[in-house]
A and B are shown apart, each in its own frame.
Chain A
Amino acid sequence: MKLFVSEGNPQCLKVLCALEVTGVQCDVHYVNHEERVVPFLSRPALPALLLPSGRHLFSPNAICRYIFEVNGQESSDLCNQWFFLLCVQIILTTTHHFHYLPFPPFLSLTISLPLFLFSGKHKSVKAWFDHVAAMHSCQSAAQKVLQGKGLQGMKSYMQRQPAPQSSQCRDTQPCNSSPAEEEGERVVSEEDMNAAALKWSKGLNADPLSKEKQHPILPQEGKRNILVTSALPYVNNVPHLGNIIGCVLSADVFSRYGRLRGWNLLYVCGTDEYGTATENKAREEGMTPQQICDKYHVIHSSIYKWFQIDFDFFGRTTTEKQTEIAQDIFWRLHNHGFLVEDTVEQLRCENCQRFLADRFVEGTCPHCSYPEARGDQCDKCGRLINAVELREPQCKVCRQIPVIRSSKHLFLDLPKLETQLKQWLDTSTSTGHWTANAKQITRSWLRDGLKPRCITRDLQWGTPVPHPDFKEKVFYVWFDAPIGYLSITAKYTDKWEKWWKNPQQVELYNFMAKDNVPFHSVVFPCSLLGAQDNYTLVSHLVATEYLNYEDTKFSKSRGVGVFGDMAMDTDIPSDVWRFYLLYVRPEGQDSAFSWADMAMKNNSELLNNLGNFINRAAMFVTKFFEGCVPAVELQQEDKKLLALVGWELQQYIQLMDKVKIRDALKHILNISRHGNQYIQVNEPWKKIKGVGTERQRAGTVTGVSVNIACLLSVMLLPYMPTVSQTIRDQLHAPQSCVSTMLQGTGTFVCALKAGHRIGTVTPLFQKLETDQIEALKKRFGGQQGDKVRALKAQKAEKAVVTAEVAKLLDLKKQLALAEGKSPEPAPQKGKKK
């Protein structure tokens, strides 16, 4: 018989204890957490017991029971029940059962871990636990597993456990409750309760933040000065939901929050307009590049306006300021010796008669063999490549094989700037709120070794290179575009250098999706460092992962996914879109937009949780107290609620300060959940019909609830600005609550005192019905394309396929016309050998 265990694995505690207690002979082997001892299990399972017959046991409970049975102690029905209960749920409430137990020692083993966590509220449980923990066998087992490190010893085991998934209950609907609800009750101390009640009584700040912003916003002495940028969207692509959540929306939430916190904050962004894509489109549509940019800039602007993105300024890269600043940086780099000249081989399409920009070459990645690698970056492995390195390259426009021609170009000498860069990166990444993926990507870039990076291109539509030897060339878009942040600020205010050449006073936050990280963490900082003009470098780099659409990717060409302009076209309000996108913000890993999920979250969280609580609280004031907030007399229970709410508020602030936007949202929903529970338990609608203290109780509960609603409106502001204001309008809440509640570590005060008259109360949210959602999913699902593909795969009858293909082409034509594009079909993709 052999027992396999791993260190720091709490499941091993019980089996080791069982061996100690029974004295059963068994070899014990210590292995790594990843060791797969049981041959038929895909995932490692430890502890595991190899039985004499050659069979394996991988259930810790089964192993314990076997050891005891071998020793002559069979387990009763009741003990079996405990084993199963403990697999399935942690018991904190069934203390009376302990009176029945004939205290079998081995039972204690199965309870060992969960009870590390409980708070000691249940005295009989605690007494029993202390008794067991003191047993020699338990102490010895604990020593073996934890090696004296206590709970820290379990860290490496716990980190390997998969994240909890939302489970499918067998015969009920998929559970709507969030993980926070299942956590169990927070413990609130007497101290916490009194502190919360004290804060509550303090009331609102005397001088509110002025609602109107004073432009231009400039750094001020003594304030926290924050400059926020979102990655500049490329002008002639209509942004899809993934672009929006990755960049402008994330930055917007943080910016709105920052202003509420009293930080002196400027949020700038704009369209990135230079480059061949625009050049080509202009040719296609028979306009000048400038005209194309003018047209699409407006489309972007209106989409972001609909999404309520509160830029302080939304500009463009095609300005004189851009040329001025870019050329200045260029000359400085040149004069400081950070530019190198070289002759470059470039791909030129003889058919199209031009040098091909990187995005117009497609081929096989030389590193990972991905067949659709683009000429500047491989979509699969993310490595930067030069277009000439691609295997089997093709011109994306005409599919001809391009030829290689030589041309003189300038390179930014990244290796020469490497030491300086690393020094700065060490400080920035360790002191700032960089997302993990940003740090990782940057690290792997540096590990691969920096190479000189070409900053010029043979094109027309771009910032001209001022150097006489390179007159016919323009700057490469990735050198030039980040400089857009500076030039856009320069259009906003001529004192732009107070933001951009002021690292001592300014903290810079860059928001982007992960594919933009290397340019913001390496290339651009190197340009600025090399220019040696005291430029402000990024302090906090916030990058998201990818948002997928249902099970697949957004794709304009296949008509898959929701694009910004289409979202405007549904009946779903902007705030609801914002809420859902932020709820599924792809932080640690890719996430997916799902129509069904959006409906579910709207109905369960917005309607049934948040909307329900706020509406009920306000309605009680209207119905039972003639529209005036009643007097509040805080009992212990109310103080406890204030403390709980205060804690959630504190967490919200801590998380938002670190740009953990998605996590912070959960705390808002927790508060309204507490609120709903508070109302359920206290039944003010019943108590109002009573007399004296009963009525008083109804008044207190109503008063507290409506104030919580007020707090929620403030916490919601960064996420759902319209709903947030609507709540305050309905409650006639003073604007000063907006500036008070998020100060410090959170200041939940009584904003609506007794006698305050509220306004008309109406529901905040609408239910999203299933048929509505189904219709929307169909509309945006690219279904016709899928249908054609499926038919072709099934080798359906040619006539059928042809008919469906005709439908598809027609839909594509309609789409093109609706978008103002030429309805001519793109040239067919040639089959690669």
Chain B
Amino acid sequence: NMALRELSSLEKYLGLKKPNKYSTQGDKKVPVLQNNNGPPLVGLVTIACHLVKEANRPELLGDSAESRAVVQQWLEYTVTKLNSCTKEDIKTILKDLNLYLQDKVYLAGNQFTLADTFMYFGLHPIIMDLAFQEKEQFVNVTRWFDHIQHYPGVRHHLSPVVVLRNRIYTSRHH
């Protein structure tokens, strides 16, 4: 189950001592976390935000009202658009993200947040499938993706994606 692997990856990033036990519900196997303080938490993003607060890293959800809203927006985008998109949608998503990331280091601007982690998880299979020309076409997305996959502690369950063309000869040789 992809969602559970992502949560486990996040736990490792956050350095949580004891990994949680998750159950799932429904056909789509939505993750569920039993909560001693109240009703169970349902949903990948909900649980992820909860873990972040538990690990006392609130800055990962944004450090201002605006940033927090932006982070939530991209988390929602990942869950709703990325996880159920068609081939045509993929091109649009890459185009939009490419334009958005033109002047930003991270999705929330200048700070690494949970939005980057989950967008990285969600885009991984798509970026992996892109040809080199396409990676070059969406240069900002590729730059951001390469940055996040190398960010300390982020990549656990996913394979690294090569983004640079392997030039055997530099242009000087011809």
Contact = CB atoms under 8 A, between A and B. Distances in A.
A427 interface: no
Given A57-B73, A84-B76, A87-B76, A167 B84 contact: yes
B28 A55 contact: no
Interface string B42-82: 11011001100100000000000110111011001101100
Contact of B41 (A40, A59, A77, A88): A77
Contacts of A165: 86, 89
B85 interface: yes
A81 B43 contact: yes
Contact of A169 (B28, B86, B96): B28
A55 B62 CA distance: 14
A77 B46 contact: yes
B127 to A, nearest CB: 15
Interface string A206-227: 0000000000000000000000
B69 A63 contact: yes
Given A61-B76, A63-B69, A97-B39, A42 B50 contact: no
A158 interface: no
A170 B79 contact: no
Give the interface residue-count category, chain B.
Answer: 35 or more
A744 interface: no
Given A59-B76, A59-B77, A84-B79, A43 B92 contact: yes
A776 interface: no
B22 interface: no
A70 interface: yes
Interface in A558-597: none
Query: Which of B70, B77, B99, B109 neighbours the largest number of chain A CB atoms within 10 Å of its CB?
Result: B70
A771 interface: no
Given A65-B72, A81-B46, A84-B46, A42 B92 contact: yes
Interface in A50-94: 51-53, 55, 57-59, 61-63, 65-66, 69-70, 77-78, 80-81, 83-85, 87-88
B91 to A, nearest CB: 9
A168 interface: yes
Given A40-B99, A42-B92, A88-B79, A59 B73 contact: yes
Given A42-B95, A167-B84, A170-B83, A55 B66 contact: yes
Contacts of B151: none
B158 interface: no
B19 interface: no
A626 B107 CA distance: 69
A805 to B, nearest CB: 28
A58 B39 contact: no
Nearest to B80: A87
Interface of A: 39-43, 51-53, 55, 57-59, 61-63, 65-66, 69-70, 77-78, 80-81, 83-85, 87-88, 97, 100, 165-172
5 contacts: A40-B100, A42-B95, A77-B53, A81-B46, A171-B2
Interface of B: 1-2, 28-29, 38-39, 41-43, 45-46, 49-50, 53, 65-66, 68-70, 72-73, 76-77, 79-80, 83-86, 89, 92, 95-97, 99-100, 102, 109
**Nearest 3 Cβ contacts at the A-B interface:** A167-B84, A66-B69, A62-B73
Given A43-B92, A77-B49, 16 more contacts: A40-B102, A55-B109, A57-B69, A59-B73, A61-B72, A65-B68, A80-B46, A81-B41, A81-B43, A83-B72, A84-B45, A85-B42, A100-B38, A100-B39, A167-B86, A170-B83
